[in-house]
Amino acid sequence: MTVFDGTAQTWSLVAFCSAVSFTLLLCVLTGPDSDDLAEFYTGYRYLSPLRNGLAIAGDYISAATVLTIGGVIALCGYDGVVLAVSTLLSLLVLMFLLAEPLRNTGRFTMGDALARRTSGRSVRIVACLVTIASLVPMMLVQLASTGQLLAYILGFSSTSMKTGCVVGVGTLMIVYAAVGGMRGTALLHILKMVTLLGSGVVVAVLVLHAFDFRPAALFHSAAERSGAGAAYLRSGLQFAGGPYPRLDMVTTQFAIVLGGACLPHVTMRMYTASDARQVRRSMSWAVSSVALFVLVITVIGVGATALVGRAGIAAGDPRGNTAYLLGSRAAFGEHVSRPETLLFTSVTTAIFLTLLASVASMTLACANSLAHDVVASRRSGLTPVRETAVARVSAVVVGAPVIALAALVQHRSLQPLATVSFCLAASAIAPALVYSLFWRRFTRTGLLCTLVGGSLAVLVLMPGTRLVSGSPTAAFPESDFNWFPFTTTGLVSIPLGFVLGWLGTVLPGRRAQKEARRGYESLERLILAGPEGGIAPGRTEPGR
C-alpha cells in the first residue's frame, strides 16, 4: 500500500483522467492531415525553437530517467549525481557533434541519414531493425513500470489492476503516435516538461528550505541517514558489489553519454528543425531544460534520503524508484494542506505524463522507421496518403506486442532492458552515425558491420552481466549465470562497434574506399553546411 493519504490519491486520479482527456483532445485537434507526409513525420511547420527544444528535452527525459536517476541519487549519493550529469553531457555531445549534420542529411528517420551515402534497401532494413531493437526494451521499461507506479500512488495492490494499467497506457501510446504524429507527441512532451520542471523547482525549493537553504547541511544529513556514512559522498557506492567498481562506473558513463545522444527517438527530433540556426537554438533550449532537471532531481533525490532515510526509501522500492515521489511528499512536512496536496498532485501528474509521452515518442520512432525505411523504400510509388496510413498501422504493429511483453515482465527487474537500449545505441548507432557523417572512406560494408556487429556484441554480452543474474536485484535473482564482470557491455561492445566499422571499410580494398570518398566529397558541403534555404517540403529524399 502507498504511504499517501486518500485525498492525495483522489486528486491524483482526477488529475490523471483529466490529463488523458486533455492530451487526447490535443492530439486529435493538432493531428496531421492524411496527405501531408512531412507533417506527420516532422511537424516542421509548427515547431518553434523553444517548443522543439522542450520536445527534445522531453524525449530525452523519460520516466525511467526520472525514477531511476532519482533512486540512484537517493541510495548512492555521489554516483547518482555523476549519472545525472552524464545525461546532460550526452545531450551536449548531440548538440555539438551530431545535431546539425543529422538535420542536414536526414529527412524523416535515421535510415535517411545513413542511406544518404550508401544507398540500398539493406542499409534501411538494418537501420530499422536496430532502431526497433534499441527502443523496444526501453518501451518495455516504461510500460512495465506503469502498473507498479500507479499502484504505489493510488494505493491498490491487485495484479490484475496493475496489468490493466499497463494495457491502458500502452493503448494510449499507440493512439498518441498514430493520431498525433510528430506534432502531437511534441505537444505532449512540451506539456510534460512544463509540468515536470515547474513542480520540480517548487519541490526542490521546499527541500532546500527545510535545511535553511544550506546545501552542505542537506548533503551532510543525507550521508548520515544513508547508512553508508562518508562513502555516500564519494565515488564507488553504486558498483561496490562488483569486482571492478571504478571501471564499471566509467564504462556505464560512456554507455549513457554515447547511447543517450544516439537513441533514435531523440535523433529524430533533429529533422523537425527547418535550418541550422533553428536546430542550434532548439538544442540550446533542450540543454538548458535538461540542466535545470539535473539540478532539480539532485536536490529532490538527496532530499529524499535526508528527510525519509535509506530504510524508508528501500521499503517503497529496493532500487529506489519511488525516491522522487517520497522526496516530494516529505518536502511538505508532517502537516499537508490543500495547496501542498495540489502541488504533490502536479508531481504525480508530471510523472504520469512523462510515461505517456516517452512511450508514445518511442512508438512513433519505431513506426516511422518501419513504414518509411522498410515499406516505402520497397514501393517507390507509394503515395503520401498510403505511407501515412502505413505509419499509423505500424504503430499498432509495434505497440501491440510491446504491451503483451510488458504485462509479462512487469514483476521482474527492468534495469537490464534499459541498459540494453543505451548499449545498443552506443555500440551500433553511435559509430555508424559518426563514421557516416565524418569519415570520407566509410563504405556500405563498414556501415553494415558496425550496425550488425555492435548490436550482436551487446545481445551476446548482456545476459552475462550482474543485472541479469547473480545478485538480489537482478532480473533472475534465483539464478546465477553471470560471467561478464561489469554492469554494462560498453567496455567491450563500444570499441568493438567502431573497430568493426573500420575493418569493414579497409578490408574490402581501396576501390570501395575511393568510391565512398567520392560519394562523401559530393555530399560534404551538405553534411557540414546544410542545403541552402533549409529543408523544403518537397526535398528529394535520400537513398530511395
Average pLDDT over every residue of 62-86: 88
How many angstroms separate the CA atoms of 408 and 410, rounded? Answer: 6
Task: Enumerate the domain spans of the chain.
Answer: 6-413
Per-residue confidence (pLDDT) for residue 542, from 0 to 100? 41
What's the grid cell of residue 279?
536546430
Per-residue confidence (pLDDT) for residue 154, from 0 to 100? 76
Question: Which of 361, 304, 365 lies closest to 69 in space, CA to CA?
Answer: 304
What pairs with residue 469 in β-bridges?
Answer: 476
Write down the residue that cell numbers 502541488 correspond to. Answer: 343
Confidence class of residue 532 from pLDDT cuts 50, 70 and 90?
low
Average pLDDT over every residue of 434-463: 91
How many angstroms separate the CA atoms of 462 and 471, rounded? Answer: 15
Residue 2: is its pLDDT beyond 70?
A: no
Residue 537: is its pLDDT beyond 80?
A: no
Q: pLDDT by residue (tens digit) across 199-251?
A: 899 999 999 999 999 999 999 999 999 888 888 988 888 887 777 888 888 88
Per-residue confidence (pLDDT) for residue 73, from 0 to 100? 93
Residue 116: is its pLDDT beyond 70?
A: yes
Instruction: Provide the 8-state DSSP code for 240.
Output: T
Given a contact cutoff of 8 angstroms between Cβ atoms, the answer to whether 109 and 386 are in contact is: no
Report in angstroms the alpha-carbon separations of 535 from 109, 271, 276, 353, 524. 14, 9, 10, 31, 17
Question: Which of 196, 228, 202 lies closest to 67 in space, CA to CA?
Answer: 196
Average pLDDT over every residue of 426-439: 91
How many angstroms separate the CA atoms of 500 and 484, rounded? Answer: 21
Pure H helices in 31-120 = 37-41, 49-60, 63-76, 78-93, 99-105, 110-115
Instruction: Provide the 8-state DSSP code for 98.
Output: I
Tell me the CATH class for 6-413. Answer: mainly alpha
Average pLDDT over every residue of 477-497: 88
Sequence-separated (6 or more) residues with CB below 8 Å from residue 525: none
Flag the least confident range among 79-83, 195-199, 236-240, 439-443: 236-240
Q: pLDDT by residue (tens digit) across 242-270?
A: 778 888 888 888 899 999 889 998 888 88
Q: pLDDT by residue (tens digit) across 345-403?
A: 888 888 888 888 888 889 989 998 998 888 887 776 678 788 888 888 999 999 999 99
What's the grid cell of residue 369?
522507421
